[in-house]
Amino acid sequence: MSDIKKIVLAYSGGLDTSVILKWLIEAYGAEVITVTADLGQPEDLTGVEEKALKTGASKAFVLDLREEMAKDFVFPMMRAAAIYEGRYLLGTSIARPIIAKALVDIARKEGADAVAHGATGKGNDQVRFELSVNALAPDIRVVAPWREWDLMSRTALTAFAEQHGIYIPSEAKRYSMDANMLHTSFEGSELEDPGNEPDASCHQRCVPMEEAPDRPELITVDFEAGNPVAVNGERMSPYTIIKTLTEIAGRNGIGRLDMVENRFVGMKCRGVYEDPAGALLYALHRDLEGICMDREVLGIRDMLSVRYSQAVYNGFWFSPERECLQAFMDKSQETVTGQVRAKLYKGGVWPLARTSPYSLFSQDLATFEGGDYDHHDAAGFIRLNSLRLRLFSELKKKQQGR
């Protein structure tokens, strides 16, 4: 079918990628090596290597990428206050470039001609995977089985698996799900109709708000240069911070999102997301920025965050524009150091206090009890800023008089 001799496959061990593994061997006559990324997802990866080898893989790698993902992908995105279409915290999007990087790394190590993924031809993930691979290794080819084969339904996939002796879990999956340290996403089933409420079964990380504790939980998070470094006074590694905050926020019902978004490929889709750590960190980070960042820098950052978020969502992590934006974001975060204390209660995050050695807040200027501020200065400030308004008012009078 082609001159491809060795393929590195992004492999989860589920139905789709197990079928893809066997299909690649048959369709391409190629050696297939699997790569499974441990990104802190709740799934137990025990046995995934054995299953890949049993299904026909020549080698099977299970890579612990948790700390790398948190430090080099999640934290830079959080420093940028990235949020797509004002709501989505990019939990799936940010996992794709690190998986693509792992595929390329193994492909280089093993001398592979191509990499392969299990993303469908409808979604964003195919774009994210392939743009990342092209940016990192334009000489390595990408195989996308969903754009080549005729197995276009779960029934067809199941039949193929049965014919080839591929183990299929007996329990049926209600949703198409993706999970990593940061979030879990749910699509499919009743969620395909935006007019339907989500079933109660699509809760994994966040308890329903009505089941959250009736007493608030207090928490402190310390930041250095925009990165969270400690929870409740205990310093932790990047991944451990994400894991700890996921548990704390999740048990308080924080981080649940149900939205219809615009996919890069052109269609709208409805998804339910649980991102407890991301939602909590976004709120606390923004609160700390209020005392640490210059007004104009904050305003520019917020405008650029929109472009940054689009770059991440659309798959352009390894792009010159994202790297340039990151340089600005990181510069803006140099003084975002301090602590935020907050109350967590039934889905809400309520900052109570914030301190920073780089605070721009002046109590002497803000106080109602005197201070060095000269109230007379405000008259000239207002007069100069109203100059153009008064001129425009005169112009309108002339126009109305014609």
- Tell me the catalytic residues: 16, 96, 125, 176
* Residues near 400 by beta carbon (within 8 Å), at least 6 away in sequence: none
Contact 101, 132 (CB under 8 A): yes
Using CA atoms, how far residue 201 sits from 28, 189, 211, 252, in Å, is: 40, 11, 14, 18
Return d(Cα 70, Cα 76) in angstroms, integer: 9
* Residues near 107 by beta carbon (within 8 Å), at least 6 away in sequence: 8, 114, 115, 137, 140
* Residues near 184 by beta carbon (within 8 Å), at least 6 away in sequence: 42, 91, 177, 178, 204, 205, 273, 274
Contact 228, 280 (CB under 8 A): no
Contact 36, 60 (CB under 8 A): yes
Chain-centroid distance of CA 126 in Å reads: 16
Chain-centroid distance of CA 20 in Å reads: 26
Contact 341, 273 (CB under 8 A): no
Return d(Cα 91, Cα 4) in angstroms, integer: 33
- Torsion region of 396: left, alpha or beta (phi above 0 gives left; psi -120 to 50 gives alpha): alpha
Contact 200, 318 (CB under 8 A): no
Contact 28, 115 (CB under 8 A): no
Using alpha carbons only, give the angle 252, 183, 204 rounded to the nearest 5 degrees.
55
DSSP code per residue over 104-143: HHHHHHHT-SEEE----SSSSHHHHHHHHHHHH-TTSEEE
Using CA atoms, how far residue 51 sits from 12, 115, 239, 361, in Å, is: 10, 19, 27, 58
